[in-house]
Amino acid sequence: MICIPIISQTNDEALRDIRRSAPAADAIELRMDVIEGGDLPMLVAEAGKASPNVKIIVTCRRPEESLLPSVRTLRDVNKGRTLPAKLLLLEQAVALGVDFVDIEMACGEEAVHRLRSSIRRQKSLTKIIVSWHDIDKTPSFAKLKTIFHACLRVGADLIKIVPYARHREDNLKVLALFAYAKKWNCPLIAMCMGDEGRMSRVLAISLGSVLTFAVLQSGGASAPGQLTVGAMKEFHRLLESDVREYRPEMTIPARPDFVLLGNPVGHSLSPLMHNQALQAMGIEGHYSACCVEDLRAAITGIRGLKMGGASVTIPFKTAVMEFLDDMDDDAAALGAVNTIVNDRGRLTGFNTDWLGLVQAVKDRMEIAGKTFAVLGAGGTARAAVYGLQKEGGRVFLLNRTLEKGQALAGRFGCLFYPLSKIDEIYADCLINTTSVGLYPENEKSPVPASLLNHFEVVADVIYNPLMTRLLRDAEAKGCKIISGLDMFVYQGAGQIQLWTGREAPVALLRETVRERLNQLES
């Protein structure tokens, strides 16, 4: 498990950080000793809302064992958060049904017993982590074993031992505890704080640690040496794939890893969506985004690394074609590839953008025999025109730049109008494929609201924001609307189908992406 500590300074900031962190992590740790005026029931409820499966750890760290400067709650709000006050807080956490409460070994056996009684009384499933930290140094291995036993004696369900590494060798002492803990059949969380202790944070999970701590973005660490969630996942992926490589008795299947090739890719929600799909489908594999400088080298990498395939985005959808072995008919006709499938070294290009758009439209209306006004003449317009015509729709194209619009309309044999003539156009459905209204220009729309009653259905391919100005205006005019989220999810589901031969959990993916977009908008 990867756990993100919530170390915000106020309750409001903590709520915001929970919303961001919970979907990205397996667990979050609410550091109630740091969150000024932290409202535990509210924070726990927010975590459940943000991610129903995220595990919650509640901690109220003793100042002597914390490296965080602000522990004001210990000074004022919970004046005298002496042991009884701290126990009351942890008992409240038990009553709220959190997964873990963390109490320091230094609080003593009686405190742990009191928590245990509370768990029994509440018939709660909460587990007790008994923890020990040294914020200054790492003691000898013999001393660490003594500490382990002391934690065990006070009644831990899980033991957590985290000293400060002054030297790299300190990691070895702490990591050796995992083999020792196995003999005593007690789950362990162990790692070193400090920059010199980083390697223990990465290796701990591979050696059996119940969890390791990571931060969403660099700069948010609760203890020095914490890596980002992304870096931690990447390390584990590498460690895991190495393990597989070195099993000589196994025939090694190509690991189904996938990559997004584009430039830029930092904003992309594809990794979130595809990793969620792989996980939900029980497929071991990982999808990562790669900002590509050299496309030829990137394609060589897909073959060399025996990846399952790739997504391709701006600006490579056309350029990539020359590096592939084969092209699916639709991708060839469209002249753009957004998906690569690697079949034992043979790379074939596909396009699921048009499929995504067609599927999103088909959810709301028939396409055959209906009229469509498509705004724009870029790559997405091309996919839209191709897909709609393939399904029997009649398309008018409108674009700001006449030459580009005429060229595209000429290629697909559809009527073309300058965008300025939109007031003369009536159709069953209007589809915006321009970037007008894209975040941060949320208040812009490519079509005046007064003209939207010329259309029964209005679709926007933009999904950030989820409700563009165009869609809001259209809804207010009583039109049916189709959001870019549907197209995005369906084109991703099409990719999954091509890579795995299986159907993707579309509803789950839609919710996952919608949740993230809502978070980004809040």
**Interacting residues toward ligand NAP by CB under 6 A:** 314, 353, 356, 376-381, 399-401, 404, 419, 433-436, 438, 446, 461-463, 484, 487-488, 491
Contacts (Cβ under 8 Å, ≥6 apart) of 301: 307
Nearer to ligand NAP, 126 or 434 (CB): 434
- Distance of alpha carbon 426 from alpha carbon 454, whole angstroms: 5
Query: Shortest approach of ligand NAP to residue 230 CB, angstroms?
Result: 23
Q: Which residue is nearest to ligand NAP (CB)?
A: 378
Nearer to ligand NAP, 194 or 376 (CB): 376
Query: Shortest approach of ligand NAP to residue 408 CB, angstroms?
Result: 9
Let me know if 123 is a catalytic residue: no
- Distance of alpha carbon 295 from alpha carbon 299, whole angstroms: 6
Query: Shortest approach of ligand NAP to residue 479 CB, angstroms?
Result: 18
CA atoms within a 13 Å half-sphere pointing along the CA-CB vector of 336:
23
Cα→Cα distances 247→145, 244, 253, 256, Å: 33, 6, 12, 17
- Distance of alpha carbon 479 from alpha carbon 232, whole angstroms: 46
Beta carbons within 10 angstroms of residue 417's beta carbon: 17
Nearer to ligand NAP, 341 or 462 (CB): 462
Burial class (CB in 10 A: 0-12, 13-18, 19+), 305: middle
Contacts (Cβ under 8 Å, ≥6 apart) of 53: none
- Distance of alpha carbon 97 from alpha carbon 91, whole angstroms: 10
Are the CB atoms for 331 and 317 separated by under 8 Å?
Answer: no
Query: Shortest approach of ligand NAP to residue 445 CB, angstroms?
Result: 10
Cα→Cα distances 47→30, 33, 142, Å: 10, 18, 39
Beta carbons within 10 angstroms of residue 460's beta carbon: 30
Query: Shortest approach of ligand NAP to residue 84 CB, angstroms?
Result: 55
Nearer to ligand NAP, 390 or 404 (CB): 404
Are the CB atoms for 348 and 324 separated by under 8 Å?
Answer: yes
SS3 332: helix
Quick one: the chain helix, strand, coil %, rounded to 5?
45, 20, 35
Query: Shortest approach of ligand NAP to residue 310 CB, angstroms?
Result: 16
Query: Shortest approach of ligand NAP to residue 254 CB, angstroms?
Result: 27
Nearer to ligand NAP, 154 or 461 (CB): 461
**Among residues 127, 145, 317, 370, which one is catalytic?**
317
Nearer to ligand NAP, 59 or 464 (CB): 464
**DSSP bridge partners of 258:** 287, 309
Nearer to ligand NAP, 232 or 487 (CB): 487
- Distance of alpha carbon 465 from alpha carbon 469, whole angstroms: 9
Residues designated catalytic: 317
